[in-house]
Amino acid sequence: MASAASLRLMALQLPAFSCADTVPAAPVLAVLRHGVEGDIPLPLLAGPALDIWQGAGDIRSGVVDGVRWVESNDSVFLQLTIADAEWAQDPAAATEAAYRKLEAARRACGASHWWRLWNYLGGIVEGEGDAERYRQFTLGRHRAWSATGQLEAPLPAATAIGCGRGLHVFALAGRSAAEAIENPRQVNAWRYPRAYGAQPPSFARASLVRAGDAGWLFVSGTASIVGHESRHVGDAAAQFAEARANLDAVVAAAAQRIGIDERCFTARNFKLYWSRLSDARQHAALADALHALAPTQVLHGAVCRRELAVEIEALYALEPGIADA
Ligand code: 3EB
């Protein structure tokens, strides 16, 4: 007879993901439009306009303290936008308040674990030294999560990319825990040295959510960083190659963690962020290489270190049996 725990595992249903150009008719966890006027507020240079997260059961939704939530079965999608007036005035305070609200909304939904967060920060590299908006964001997130106990939990995967105005946060959370995966080629972000800010960034290189044999591997925004240092400064194509090497290393680390062949992970989506439009145009062929593997959105959005030209995030499906086929 199956134990209560294994029954629980079998009953767990993960949300489904797809990319499209038209809004689906069925109720969904989230439809995210990429584009300056869209949810992901960045110029979309190539690729499908929409990300769609489809729940496995009945949909319920609401708003608490400005946080919009949509829930289905064991997962919830949350969104919060902070107006530019609040964000630009004091990015650390605005981020801390935003993350406390997100934390409360997640708990209210009964989702005990963060799976994946996306952050789009207006003017991400404005300000000097510790006053830089990204570092202030990092500080605010750290304060909120240290106050709520979240820093003791495994950190989720995340993206932090620059946009025009405001702070835009999107998140997936669930009833089941995600496993935090790190990259042996990189210093864990939460151990970055003091030179990068008063508190280190609170994210894992990837999070792996499993339900029975299936799963999602959410890979964080991944750049040309080895150890904790930016590499190939001034060479966007070499930065792209280094970012891809880091992506591959994260996937290999995830496979090793659970003792499977890395070919069991199938790419389902890439987002390629270029800090400068000129690099995006000059290196359009690099995006094609990703698009050959999975639907890829090419976006104009600044990476959080001025010297970094490019960042790649990825979503992989865990599909056991593929490697033996
Ligand atoms: C890096 O590796 C690049 O602060 O949430 C990538 C992904 C980066 C997420 C975050 C930052 C974040 O440090 C920057």
Give the pLDDT mean for 58-72. 97
Give the pLDDT mean for 62-66. 97
Give the pLDDT mean for 19-32. 94
Give the pLDDT mean for 12-16. 89
pLDDT at 325: 47
Lowest-confidence range among 35-44, 295-304, 315-324?
315-324
Cβ–ligand 1 contact at 159 (below 6 Å): yes
φ/ψ of residue 150, rounded to 5: -70, -25
* Cα 36 to Cα 42: distance, rounded to the nearest angstrom: 5
Atom of ligand 1 nearest to the CA of 203: 5
Residue 6 in this model has a pLDDT that exceeds 70: no
Q: Tally helices (H) and strands (E) across the chain.
A: 7, 18
Q: Is the dihedral of CA 246, 243, 202, 258 positive or negative?
A: negative
Give the pLDDT mean for 51-66. 95
Cβ–ligand 1 contact at 217 (below 6 Å): no
How high is the mean pLDDT of the chain?
95
* Residues 243 and 149: beta-carbon distance below 8 Å: no
Predicted confidence (pLDDT) per residue in 141-172, tens digit: 999 999 999 999 999 999 999 999 999 999 99
Nearest of 184, 247, 245, 175 to residue 211 by alpha carbon: 175
Give the pLDDT mean for 262-266. 96
The best mutation among 99, 132, 203, 273 to test binding of ligand 1, ranked by most ligand atoms within 8 Å of the C-beta, falls on: 203
Cβ–ligand 1 contact at 139 (below 6 Å): no
Give the pLDDT mean for 6-29. 82
Residue range 4-324 forms a domain whose CATH class is alpha beta
* Residues 142 and 200: beta-carbon distance below 8 Å: yes
Residue 230 in this model has a pLDDT that exceeds 90: yes
CB atoms within 10 A of CB 87: 24
Atom of ligand 1 nearest to the CA of 304: 14
pLDDT at 320: 72
Active site residue 311: yes
Atom of ligand 1 nearest to the CA of 137: 4
Cβ–ligand 1 contact at 304 (below 6 Å): yes
Give the CA angle between residues 245, 249, 250 to the nearest 5°.
120
pLDDT at 10: 52
* Cα 44 to Cα 301: distance, rounded to the nearest angstrom: 9
Which residue, chain included where needed, has tokens 């925004």?
221
Question: 231 CA to middle of ligand 1, Å?
Answer: 15
Residue 270 in this model has a pLDDT that exceeds 80: yes
